[in-house]
Structure 1
Amino acid sequence: MSSFAKIASAQDEPIGIRLGELAESWAKYWPTPATPFWWRAAPPAAGPWSRPANRADIVVVGAGFTGLSAALILARAGRSVVVVDAGAPGFGASTRNGGQIGSGNQKFRVNTLIQMKGERKAVELLREGIEMLDGIEAFIQREKIDCSFIRCGRFRGAMRPEHYENMARDMEDLKHFVRVDSCMISRDEQHKEIGSDLFYGGSLLPNDASLHPGKYHAGLLDRVIKAGAVVHGNTAVLGITSGRAGHTLHFAGFQIQARDVLIATNGYTKNVGAFFRKRIVPIRSAQLTTEIIPAQLFDQLMPRRRVYGNTNRVFFYFRPAPDENRLIWGGRASHFAGDFALAAYSHLARDVLRTFPVLRNVKVSYTWSGLIGYTFDEFPHLGRTPDGIHYAMGYCGTGVSRATHFGRKIALKMLGKAEGRSAFDDLTFPSHVFHAFAKPAVPAIEAWYRARDITGL
């Protein structure tokens, strides 16, 4: 890693606009560098990159958490591994996410999952979700990656009284079926968890965690290179041809022949075949970070320093920055303003001030966005296409633990190891007859969900 240049880190000084001004859309024409806060401590490697060898045992497409987790297993097993990425390694969602870590089963209530898949299958999926959470902690400890990992716990605020009751039943089901520790926090008691009157109480999962995603990615990349894999950034795949002898990956001016290929691109999937184009919908997520907030005020707002979320359909999430009194706030991106205009983040500022009105005069320091890979069934998927190309993707916004876990699982499958078995193996990876219209329809669907969140319908 020492030979790689680094992409310039984010700005050192606040942008200058206050949350109250941003919430009122004063920043409509105010340009801003859309640079992740995480890059301040761990900017992605920028090269220079040599041309890869024209032959490898395995080519991994995508140098995020999934691809690197898989490459580490494969390289340590003695395979010649080439990892390619269209941008700098980690330029995508792996260094743009919120760094919140859950069990990997946050999309469905337990009862809903049982109705969809049956009790036996639902329990298998839930147990593997717990394995994802425990597994990333064990991996970080084993590899000695310094990334501010901490079991901080998650508070999820109920936006309506009925949401609180629904969560209470779900927490009971989690405890009954898979013994997940949790408790409910009433509205009268919630100030012990959060200095806000927005919520009607909430749930607490004390074993959920957080980390610094930039540092985690940097540590993972370092381990992969030391294991003997070769990583190349700014090396975009233009197409893949498959045959009996293996696969040919086409790039600008050259090709690579490989026995096996792993697609690990999630929301950045492009030019790797119709199979994936029909199954992954990229959805943009956005975040902002405040300047440092006075310690006394910060202690009132987030006294337990947990990660936080809520029960809206179009939800927001937030957390303290590692070792700093900054607020990191995320949610869906605006589809009606450019990524390089501050107005694209106005809705995030409005959500911040609904939750913490006292922050109106606090300045914004960083803004950025990234792509989430969504699937039509809202489950992640791993497996092999009819052309023999391996894949792991579709994390639907909960990718830190899922991507690490799925990268490991798919690599073990490629090695023919029994440990590669997953409860997600037999889930059909669905396409949709109107898949071509899925991405353009996202703004309208999100607007409809926001309206339902407001009205309670």
Structure 2
Amino acid sequence: MESLSMWEATANKRKEREQLQGEEQCDVVIIGGGYSGLSSAYHLQKKNVNTIILEKWRVGSGASGRNGGEVLTGYIGSMEAWEKKKGLEAAKKMWQLSLDSIDLIQNIIKEHSIDCAFKRNGDFFAAYKPAHMDALKRDQEYMARVMNYHDIKVVEKKDLHSEMNTDFYHGGRIDAGSAHFHPLNYAIGLAEAAEGLGAKIYEQSEALKVERDARNKVIVTTPNGRVIADQLVIVTNGYAGDINQTIKRSVIPIESIMIATEPLPEELVEDIIKKDRAIHDTKRLLYYFRRTADNRLAFGGSGRASSKRDQRNLFDHLHAGMLNVFPQLKDTRIEYRWGGKVGFTKDMIPYIGQLEDGTHYAFGYCGHGAAMSSLFGKMIADNITNEEVEDNPLIVNQLKPIPFHSQHAKAVGILKFYKKLQDAIS
């Protein structure tokens, strides 16, 4: 699944970073060079806190550089459902955090002139079945009445062609607050912004072991060196290795795959998606897709597979799904196929907090990491520097690892989780 992505093939030029060699010291060592880790370093350096990032591969090699680039408001499920689970005040804070997360990204991009094709044109949530329109209309009414959010507009089936040239869906809703970007170029730009403030980033430098000495200093060992720091941040999300078993067993990595067409004629790509919005749908195994800055269609969906043959079938099936939505693309060549892991939690909501030993973490963005992870990095920085942080309903300081006692139990558990995920989405 980890094949060359279209984002990697079309990325801005990036610098070659060194592997860690020998011993380094800093205030905070961060394991993971995705959005969360880069944002943590960026915001810590702004407060004159010296940071080192250890990345197993290259900056943005995980979900941060492989996702669909849809920077969406909200969470899995409706805010009305989250109000029932968390209470009204917590739901209001959660919603505001999702809006703040996109504002933060927009401000960082503007401040550092990051070339990542950021557009805040909103998203379109497409109704797969006529009955799904009722839920979208109820959500619009709830968001206006309870959350005082009036940027949602329902589009009926008869008006669908004002958004997309397809008859596959039965209408949908627009949320003007969402955005999209080139996800890897954002990661590259955020890394350079952090380094410009003094952060050090070592690539090809997998964290193999974490220890604490008698002074409670953190010692992180890599293949060719080690870092000694006062505090530790682990932000590996769906790519959690064995560095911390509590975190590893609290995140569920779910495969997602994408395909991308060859560059399309401008008039064609502007016809199939009229207003350049990020699009996702209400299918149980959802599709998500969008135009790119170089006039491709990037189209994603579920990627669960157990063999290379299954993977090929999944990509073929996804291509067939794309043609179901846009049959006018039947003669269009697919130029890229790739996949990666999306981090989920048992509660279908991202986690941020600290372990008993003081380790800071954030993970489980549940498909909304393009938006939320930069904000979570800032929250980690604020927590480390003892900034005044408002009550955050997403803080979880006592992780309860999911008890998979064997590989078979893990496989069965993930299958059950897929069913739960499908029910939450639909």
Q: By the TM > 0.5 criterion, same fold?
A: yes
Deviation at 1:190, TM superposition (A): 0.5
1:192/1:337 CA distance change after superposition, 3 Å? farther
Decide which of 272, 276, 291 is 1:320's aligned counterpart: 291
- 2:142 alignment partner in structure 1: 173
Decide which of 408, 412, 423 is 2:393's aligned counterpart: 423
Normalising by structure 1, what TM-score? 0.86
1:261 pairs with 2:232: yes
1:434/1:391 CA distance change after superposition, 3 Å? same
Please give the alpha-carbon distance, in whole angstroms, between the structure 1 residues aligned to 2:49 and 2:417.
44
* Maintained 8 Å contact 2:126/2:171: yes
Decide which of 253, 263, 267 is 1:296's aligned counterpart: 267
- 1:73 counterpart SS class: helix
1:442/1:45 CA distance change after superposition, 3 Å? farther
- 1:354 alignment partner in structure 2: 324
Deviation at 1:426, TM superposition (A): 5.3
Deviation at 1:46, TM superposition (A): 4.5
Q: Which amino acid aligns with 2:279?
A: Y
- 1:154 alignment partner in structure 2: 123
Q: Which amino acid aligns with 1:402?
A: M
- 2:164 counterpart SS class: coil
- 2:23 counterpart SS class: coil
Residue ranges of structure 1 left out of the alignment (5+ in a row): 1-31
1:117/1:337 CA distance change after superposition, 3 Å? same
- 2:5 alignment partner in structure 1: 36
Please give the alpha-carbon distance, in whole angstroms, between the structure 2 residues aligned to 1:286 and 1:362.
19
1:277 pairs with 2:248: yes
* Maintained 8 Å contact 1:44/1:91: no
- 1:275 counterpart SS class: helix
* Maintained 8 Å contact 2:20/2:205: no
Please give the alpha-carbon distance, in whole angstroms, between the structure 1 residues aligned to 2:127 and 2:218.
49
- 2:153 alignment partner in structure 1: 183
* Maintained 8 Å contact 2:404/2:410: no
1:159/1:205 CA distance change after superposition, 3 Å? same
Please give the alpha-carbon distance, in whole angstroms, between the structure 2 residues aligned to 1:51 and 1:190.
57
Please give the alpha-carbon distance, in whole angstroms, between the structure 1 residues aligned to 2:49 and 2:389.
18
- 1:110 alignment partner in structure 2: 79
Deviation at 1:285, TM superposition (A): 1.2
- 2:280 alignment partner in structure 1: 309
Please give the alpha-carbon distance, in whole angstroms, between the structure 1 residues aligned to 2:413 and 2:300.
18
* Maintained 8 Å contact 1:283/1:439: no
1:252 pairs with 2:240: no
- 2:105 counterpart SS class: helix
Superposed CA offset, 1:118-142 (max 9, x none): 1121111112111112222122222
- 2:117 counterpart SS class: coil
- 1:101 alignment partner in structure 2: 71
1:215 pairs with 2:192: no
- 1:189 counterpart SS class: helix
1:394 pairs with 2:368: no
Normalising by structure 2, what TM-score? 0.92
Please give the alpha-carbon distance, in whole angstroms, between the structure 2 residues aligned to 1:451 and 1:422.
27
Moved more, 247-256 or 106-115: 247-256
1:378 pairs with 2:345: no
Please give the alpha-carbon distance, in whole angstroms, between the structure 2 residues aligned to 1:166 and 1:415.
42
Deviation at 1:342, TM superposition (A): 4.2
- 2:111 alignment partner in structure 1: 142
Moved more, 127-136 or 81-90: 127-136
Decide which of 73, 80, 89 is 2:59's aligned counterpart: 89
1:341/1:451 CA distance change after superposition, 3 Å? closer
Q: Which amino acid aligns with 2:88?
A: E
Moved more, 403-412 or 200-209: 200-209
* Maintained 8 Å contact 2:56/2:203: yes
1:59 pairs with 2:26: no
Please give the alpha-carbon distance, in whole angstroms, between the structure 2 residues aligned to 1:112 and 1:365.
39
- 1:161 counterpart SS class: coil
Please give the alpha-carbon distance, in whole angstroms, between the structure 2 residues aligned to 1:261 and 1:451.
35
- 1:193 alignment partner in structure 2: 163
- 1:366 alignment partner in structure 2: 336
Moved more, 91-100 or 32-41: 32-41
* Maintained 8 Å contact 1:373/1:393: yes
* Aligned residue-pair number: 421
Moved more, 412-421 or 85-94: 412-421
1:195/1:62 CA distance change after superposition, 3 Å? same
RMSD: 2.5
Decide which of 369, 374, 378 is 1:404's aligned counterpart: 374
* Maintained 8 Å contact 1:237/1:271: no
Deviation at 1:75, TM superposition (A): 1.9
* Maintained 8 Å contact 2:179/2:278: yes
| Structure 1 runs, 4 residues or longer, greater than 6 Å off | 449-453
Please give the alpha-carbon distance, in whole angstroms, between the structure 2 residues aligned to 1:383 and 1:174.
28
Please give the alpha-carbon distance, in whole angstroms, between the structure 2 residues aligned to 1:339 and 1:442.
23
- 1:440 alignment partner in structure 2: 411
* Maintained 8 Å contact 2:36/2:377: yes
Please give the alpha-carbon distance, in whole angstroms, between the structure 2 residues aligned to 1:57 and 1:276.
22
Moved more, 224-233 or 130-139: 130-139
1:78 pairs with 2:71: no
Residue ranges of structure 2 left out of the alignment (5+ in a row): none
- 1:116 counterpart SS class: helix
1:273/1:48 CA distance change after superposition, 3 Å? closer
Please give the alpha-carbon distance, in whole angstroms, between the structure 2 residues aligned to 1:363 and 1:46.
32
